[in-house]
Amino acid sequence: MITGKTKLLGVIGHPIEHSLSPVMHNAAIANLGADYVYLPLPVKPADLASAMAGFAAIDLQGFSVTIPHKQAIIPFLTAVSPIAQAVGAVNTVWQTESGWRGTNTDVEGFVAPLKALDQDWTQAAVVVLGNGGAARAVVVGCTQLGCPQVHVVGRDAQKLEQFQRSWSHAPLSVNLQTHLWQQLPELLPYATLLVNTTPIGMYPQVNDSPLAADAIALLPDHAIAYDLIYTPNPTQFLQIASQRQLVAIDGLEMLVQQGAAALTIWLQQPASVEVMRRSLRQHLGWES
């Protein structure tokens, strides 16, 4: 029951109506019996400063950050973790006596299902499709795992060059190479892990895949295909990978794991990944 003592958490973004975060966070909060509630908080880009002042006034304990605020939030924070500095984006903020602090749990969310695999990441070559913000979290995660080679593939040479340069002052040494899309046939036969960070395959283009079957056929038999998209489930990309009998990982696990990491920061106790995962699968109609 929500009372005058209930502490507030939330997620900010614009738009925010589609967010699944309240579903999984409130399920985990109820499971813990904690006196918190997690709310969707619509904040337009022009209103971020006034929203931050309002959050302090109502004693908001912490909040998740989604598009378009992940970079814009940084100037409002008194401290940003090295991992968030490396990614260049914050997705989790919490209140301290000295002000708001921020980190990025997308990295922890991304690597969690990979750590569960029996894999020597120090021998792994990674191919990342796309060079946007999500790709940055993937690069940091793969570097944390110890992957010696990370190849980022995009279609725009200028944007790829900017992506490469952006790591020169990062508080993390990354072994990164960038490639144009047409170079994929040279990279795929050696890839241990192939990650889709593009929106290709997301609703409404649910029948699209960033790579056709003949390209995915170039992957070695032991390769892992990871799509950061979580709906539809599976995506066309992962359907093709599964037909090749490759290990397929969908984006729902990253969503759940990054959320559990954030909730652990706010509540100072571990959140149930299983409760969060099940609540989302039921909400999406994937299980009864």
User: Hey, which residues are catalytic here?
Assistant: 70
**DSSP labels, the chain:** ---TT-EEEEEEESS-TT--HHHHHHHHHHHHT-SEEEEEEE--GGGHHHHHHHHHHTT--EEEE-TT-TTTTGGG-SEE-HHHHHHT---EEEEETTEEEEE--HHHHHHHHHHTS---GGG-EEEEE--SHHHHHHHHHHHHHT-SEEEEEES-HHHHHHHHHTTTT-SS---EEEEEGGGHHHHGGG-SEEEE-S-TTSTT-TT--SS-HHHHTTS-TT-EEEES--SSSS-HHHHHHHHTT-EEE-HHHHHHHHHHHHHHHHHSS---HHHHHHHHHHHTTS--
- Beta carbons of 60 and 100 less than 8 angstroms apart: no
